Amino acid sequence: MSDAANGTVTGTAGAVSLRAEGVTLGHDGAAPVVTGLDLTVRAGEVLAVAGPSGCGKSTLLRALAGLLPVRAGRITADGAPITGPSADRALVFQDDALLPWRTARRNVELPLAIRGVPRARRRERAERWLARVGLADAAGRLPRELSGGMRQRVQLARALAGEPRAVLMDEPFGALDAQTRRAMQHLLVEVLADAPATVVFVTHDVDEALLVGDRVVVLGPSGVAAEVLPDPAAPAGAQRAEILAALGARPGPRPAVKEPV
């Protein structure tokens, strides 16, 4: 059932393209959260998905990961239907997704252990990844001994250590304070620059979407409401206003979209 069962496809095969066609999502018995969505994520791009809470962006991410079956339509990875979770598509969560009984290093080793990498090699690679996210000194610490920002760095290292073909990020910095958040955004851009993976980055922070994404789509009640290609040369605030308009929000001094209750 796992399309990464052979364990050799990762890393060398490179980024994957993901495609949703006429997809309806939602939990059984409840009203669908997403209806008839068409979306293509090109191989190797960083797609930022913005949208208000409840628009189904997290649900979409879970479906792309293979954790939630579609109710209608189909989702494919390089043309092959996604039927379940796989090491090919790592999911990064908002918080508390590290196994709390494993040290930072042993958390990062997890995808390597699952793939059967020998102990010494996975230890060495986990330490390299921790150094890459600036946590070389925290390898032996338990998650509870790390700050929120450090835990998200470990999560990022863990996701990338498995050399997935796609990284799906569900508001990974949503629980962090503004300053840590900014540092993490820059770290992410830097780390992703040399990772051969397709990235889907879900956020409700418009500035974050513009900073991290090669492309930004705004998810609305009837599918993709707007698409923006972030351009640093564009007049300040113009792209942000465009996204906010698609979100149906008034452009204000606060960059983040206000969460409806």
Partner 1 sequence: MRVPAVAVRAASLLGALLGWHLLTSANVRLWVRFDRFPGPLEVAREFGRQLQAGQFYADVAQSVVRILTGFALAAVLGIALGVAVARSRWAGNVLQPLFEVARPIPAIALVPVAILLFPANEQGIVFITFVAAFFPVLVSTRHAVRALPGVWEDAVRTLGGGRARVLAQVVLPGVLPGVFGGLSVGMGVAWICVISAEMISGDFGAGYRTWQAYTIVDYPGVLVGMITIGLLGWLTSGAVELVGRRLTRWRTS
Residue ranges binding partner 1 (CB under 8 A)? 2, 4, 7, 62, 65-67, 85-87, 89-91, 93, 96-102, 110-111, 114-115, 142-144, 158-159, 162, 168
Q: Give the side-chain half-sphere CA count within 13 A for 12.
A: 4
Minimum gap (Å) between residue 91 Cβ and partner 1 = 4
Q: Which is nearer to partner 1, 28 or 253 (CB)?
A: 28
Q: Which is nearer to partner 1, 35 or 94 (CB)?
A: 94
Minimum gap (Å) between residue 51 Cβ and partner 1 = 21
- Distance from C-alpha of 88 to C-alpha of 173, rounded to nearest angstrom: 22
Q: Which is nearer to partner 1, 82 or 247 (CB)?
A: 82
Minimum gap (Å) between residue 100 Cβ and partner 1 = 5
Minimum gap (Å) between residue 153 Cβ and partner 1 = 15
Q: Which is nearer to partner 1, 127 or 163 (CB)?
A: 163
